[in-house]
Chain A
Amino acid sequence: MNIILISLLLTLGLGLFFGLFLVISYKKLSVHEDPRVEILLDALPGANCGACGYAGCAGYAEALASGQEKNPGKCAPGGQDVANKVAHILGLDAVSVEKRVAKLMCNGSLENAIRRAEYNGINSCRVADMTIKGDKGCIYGCLGFGDCVKACKFGAMYLGDDGLPHIIEEKCTACGKCVEACPREIIELVPQDRKVFVFCKSLDRGPVAKSYCKVACIGCGLCVKQAPEGSMKLENNLAYIIDSHKVDEVAEKVIGVCPTGAIALDSKFAEVKTL
């Protein structure tokens, strides 16, 4: 009888002791977690794509909840729906999601680019690229067989008379199918309101690039000198615009500087040029 009592008391006592111990340590050690992080995580798509600039959806949710990130519209896959939800959870004003469109980073039209061969093979960029590297002198530019046009599910692309694909921005959803389809990776998804681009992907030296294309980037570096510090760079004979936030500043400074016109305003902003 005695031993039953003792063991009962002991387990009871130990249970109480451990319970108290856990309660106290919980009080002392509990980490304050913002409950909104969980809710935000539920609202976000959970694709962990990193398009927002954070390490996965959890990173973005934490940054939003802690107030470091003020913009609820950074989730590209979620689009406007998710932006509205996130803004609602945080009590922020709803923002319009930055619309992105596909853009062809090459102006090597029939007129501008010199042909070096006659191609009568299968009518596909990928095949032409794998067999004879296309029929143009440039092995970096657009092949002009319209793999991207075939890949577009929204009818937002067509092959123009100039031999280049054109993008109808109103129809473009920035799904990225054309980006994948292009064997030369010259289609990029860019913010719709971005004005200035380097319309060339050629890594050849200036004289070589100029020999096959009128509008190639020849790597002269004039734009880099004119542009605001750190907003452009020259690498492998090609100019790059780095900081997309300063893009308007870049536009002001470098338009007209480029001797070949590889850096240019997007056609829909062409009238701005006169300002």
Chain B
Amino acid sequence: MVRPLIIFIAAAITNNFILTYFLGLCPFLGVSAKVSSAIGMGFAATFVMTMTAIITNVVDHLILRPLHLDFLQMIVFIFVIAVLVQFVEMVIKKASPSLYKALGIFLPLITTNCIVLGLALLGAMRNYNLIENTFFGFGAGVGFTIALLLISGIREELEVRDVPKALKGAPITLLIAGLMAFAFMGFSGIITLQ
């Protein structure tokens, strides 16, 4: 029971997907201007990533590996993710229109995001079992949310600060992303994960 927890913490903090693997940089820069939208994106992504981790693991272990078709992982996982996001969108629209209004615009953004595919492929590469992979996906989502919240908080502050003209907008955001990645390097080595 300890190993899934370690995997969770590793995915969320020490091997944060955004700040150490540099996956999912598009929403990291695109949806991080406001804290409120960052929270929405974070929740939507966490949900999709957890579901993806579960289903890709099942597909991988039940279909691809018995048939020795490991090389199809990427294509099949993209399939699964796209279908899953569509399905989730429909369910949310039906079940909770208010949640749909909050998350709706972010869901299509997640469909083709490398962080979700990266999660599925990394999980398969490391031979995680179903429980481990679930925690892995959830942890990755939490880590994504943490990183997004941190940078959106900083960017909201930056709005009222005197940033040099040449650095306004994307440049300062990328600089901050780099500095945050430095900070997260401090976590490396706390947990070793094979």
Chain A residues at the B interface, C-beta cutoff of 8 Å: 3, 6-7, 10-11, 14-15, 18, 21-22, 25-26, 29-31
Whether A22 and B67, one on each chain, are in contact in the complex, defined by CB atoms closer than 8 angstroms, is: no
Docked complex: B41-94 residues within 8 A CB-CB of A: 63, 67-69, 71-72, 75-76, 79-80, 83, 86-87, 90-91, 93-94
Which A residues are CB-close (under 8 A) to B71? 7
Whether B94 and A29, one on each chain, are in contact in the complex, defined by CB atoms closer than 8 angstroms, is: yes
Q: In whole angstroms, how far apart are the Cα atoms of A3 and B97 in the complex?
A: 45
Chain A nearest CB, measured from B154 CB (Å): 29
Extra A-B contacts (17), CB below 8 Å, given A10-B69, A11-B76 = A3-B68, A6-B67, A6-B69, A7-B69, A7-B72, A10-B72, A11-B72, A14-B79, A18-B79, A21-B83, A25-B87, A25-B90, A25-B91, A29-B91, A29-B93, A31-B93, A31-B94
Whether B63 and A22, one on each chain, are in contact in the complex, defined by CB atoms closer than 8 angstroms, is: no
Whether B76 and A22, one on each chain, are in contact in the complex, defined by CB atoms closer than 8 angstroms, is: no
Which B residues are CB-close (under 8 A) to A7? 69, 71-72
Nearest A-chain residue to B90, judged by Cβ: A29
Given the known A-B contacts A15-B79, A31-B93, A31-B94, are A22 and B72 also in contact in the complex, defined by CB atoms under 8 Å?
no
Contact of A22 among B75, B86, B93 (CB under 8 A): B86
Q: In whole angstroms, how far apart are the Cα atoms of A11 and B31 in the complex?
A: 34
Contact of A21 among B72, B75, B87 (CB under 8 A): B87
Subset of 8 A-B contacts with CB under 8 Å: A6-B67, A6-B69, A10-B76, A14-B79, A15-B79, A22-B86, A25-B90, A29-B91
Whether B67 and A10, one on each chain, are in contact in the complex, defined by CB atoms closer than 8 angstroms, is: yes
Which B residues are CB-close (under 8 A) to A11? 72, 75-76, 79
Which B residues are CB-close (under 8 A) to A25? 87, 90-91
Q: In whole angstroms, how far apart are the Cα atoms of A25 and B90 in the complex?
A: 8
User: How big is chain B's contact interface, by range?
Assistant: 10 to 19
Nearest A-chain residue to B101, judged by Cβ: A58
Which B residues are CB-close (under 8 A) to A29? 90-91, 93-94
Which B residues are CB-close (under 8 A) to A3? 68-69
Q: In whole angstroms, how far apart are the Cα atoms of A21 and B55 in the complex?
A: 14
Nearest A-chain residue to B75, judged by Cβ: A11
Nearest A-chain residue to B80, judged by Cβ: A18
Chain B residues at the A interface, C-beta cutoff of 8 Å: 63, 67-69, 71-72, 75-76, 79-80, 83, 86-87, 90-91, 93-94, 97
Chain B nearest CB, measured from A250 CB (Å): 38
Q: In whole angstroms, how far apart are the Cα atoms of A26 and B91 in the complex?
A: 9
Which A residues are CB-close (under 8 A) to B68? 3
Which B residues are CB-close (under 8 A) to A22? 83, 86-87
Q: Which 6 A-B pairs have the closest CB atoms?
A: A18-B83, A29-B90, A29-B94, A31-B93, A7-B69, A7-B72
Chain A nearest CB, measured from B162 CB (Å): 29
Which A residues are CB-close (under 8 A) to B86? 22
Contact of A14 among B76, B93, B94, B97 (CB under 8 A): B76
Nearest B-chain residue to A6, judged by Cβ: B67
Whether B63 and A30, one on each chain, are in contact in the complex, defined by CB atoms closer than 8 angstroms, is: no
Q: In whole angstroms, how far apart are the Cα atoms of A10 and B64 in the complex?
A: 9
Q: In whole angstroms, how far apart are the Cα atoms of A21 and B97 in the complex?
A: 22
Chain B nearest CB, measured from A188 CB (Å): 33
The residue among B63, B83, B97 with the most chain A CB atoms within 10 A of its own CB is B83
Given the known A-B contacts A15-B79, A18-B79, are A10 and B63 also in contact in the complex, defined by CB atoms under 8 Å?
yes
Nearest A-chain residue to B97, judged by Cβ: A31
Which A residues are CB-close (under 8 A) to B76? 10-11, 14
Q: In whole angstroms, how far apart are the Cα atoms of A204 and B72 in the complex?
A: 80
Chain A nearest CB, measured from B96 CB (Å): 11
Chain A nearest CB, measured from B54 CB (Å): 16
Nearest A-chain residue to B91, judged by Cβ: A29
Nearest A-chain residue to B67, judged by Cβ: A6
Q: In whole angstroms, how far apart are the Cα atoms of A14 and B75 in the complex?
A: 11
Which A residues are CB-close (under 8 A) to B80? 18
Which B residues are CB-close (under 8 A) to A30? 90, 94
Chain B nearest CB, measured from A22 CB (Å): 6
Chain B nearest CB, measured from A153 CB (Å): 34
Q: In whole angstroms, how far apart are the Cα atoms of A30 and B76 in the complex?
A: 26
Which A residues are CB-close (under 8 A) to B75? 11
